[in-house]
Structure 1
């Protein structure tokens, strides 16, 4: 297998958000089956925003995971970024004519909208530990409309394959009959227009 530096960079960015801990998402993203799915889809980098309380879990899981070295996936993490997560999401989008990655996010509306604006494939994973949790309904509705993949903690490896299909569908978005101004802007342009963020 080629060295990480020699292969085109393909990044998976995982965010748990800024307010609630989501240890089960951090753990799920460091499981061998998920790492194998990433490697199988050509990913070279995994960046995890583990939040205020997730550092010890992240450190322990990374030190126990030998699969990252075997699969040649570079794994890094951080707790919080005061400037937001736009830079990391754009890195997952990839450079012009580069290899595109994916964002895996908790089902917080702010993170979802940020990823949709960048037009990067998005896997939304509801946090089952939250009270009065409406995240499942949000993830299901967005998946039904074709914007995201509804990821499940039990098997995120399936979501990686589904995100590759989502990427192909987004490349065809919007439909040909929707006008030239939309054709050039992709899904992010459609979402901006729907939300009222016009240039």
Structure 2
């Protein structure tokens, strides 16, 4: 029996209903299945939208709002789709998991875009918007992603300064 492949979607403590809606949509669930994933687990934060749970042969969609720690969900994931919050991005990259960061285009002064774009340029992740997430998934090749350097937190803060144009 093949091991289950899980997509973990996280919005952190924020409200990002557009990501929750698109990640749980029929179209994306079909794409996840085509890519060999059997479970989509969504951490939906304080959003209003609650996805329809799915439980059919060989494929499930589940969600929760918060947990004390999402470390176990990250560890068990085969693919992570995350909002661009620095904490979620760093935790996912630190776990060595393939990561797609989805930019919330409704945020003003979108530093998240700068962070995600720089990490993308450095080859550590893929990035998308809610509008093109399906396209990014259809071209998914996680083998091309480079591991993020572990350990030294100053590297990340220096990276953030660089991405924000502060150094």
Deviation string 1:144-170 (CA, Å, 9 cap, x unpaired) is 11011012201322222444x1x2124
Structure 2 residue corresponding to 1:29, chosen from 20, 23, 30: 23
Task: Find the counterpart in structure 1 of residue 134 from structure 2.
Answer: 157
Deviation string 1:19-71 (CA, Å, 9 cap, x unpaired) is x20000001112222111100110001000011234xx22xx416x7xx748x
Give the ranges of 4+ consecutive aligned residues of structure 1 lying more than 3 Å apart after TM superposition: 193-197
What is the aligned length?
156
Task: Find the counterpart in structure 2 of residue 74 from structure 1.
Answer: 60
Gaps of 5+ in 2: 157-167
Q: Does 1:102 align with 2:79?
A: yes
Task: Find the counterpart in structure 1 of residue 36 from structure 2.
Answer: 42
- Structure 1 residue 196: Cα displacement: 5.8
- Equivalent positions of 1:89-128 (< 5 A) are 89-92=74-77, 101-128=78-105
Taking a change above 3 Å as real, the CA distance of residues 42 and 135 of structure 1, as seen in their structure-2 partners, is: same
Largest Rg, 1 or 2: 1
Q: Report if aligned partners of 1:38, 1:157 keep a CA contact under 8 Å in 2.
A: no
Structure with the larger strand share: 2
Q: Report if aligned partners of 2:4, 2:39 keep a CA contact under 8 Å in 1.
A: yes
Q: Does 1:192 align with 2:151?
A: yes
Gaps of 5+ in 1: 1-5, 93-100, 174-186
- RMSD over aligned Cα atoms: 2.2
**C-alpha separation between the residues in 1 aligned to 2:150 and 2:127?**
18
- Structure 1 residue 193: Cα displacement: 4.2
TM-score with structure 1 setting the length: 0.70
Corresponding residue SS for 1:81: coil
Corresponding residue SS for 1:154: coil
Deviation string 1:89-110 (CA, Å, 9 cap, x unpaired) is 0010xxxxxxxx1000000001
Deviation string 1:110-132 (CA, Å, 9 cap, x unpaired) is 10000011000000011122222
TM-score with structure 2 setting the length: 0.83
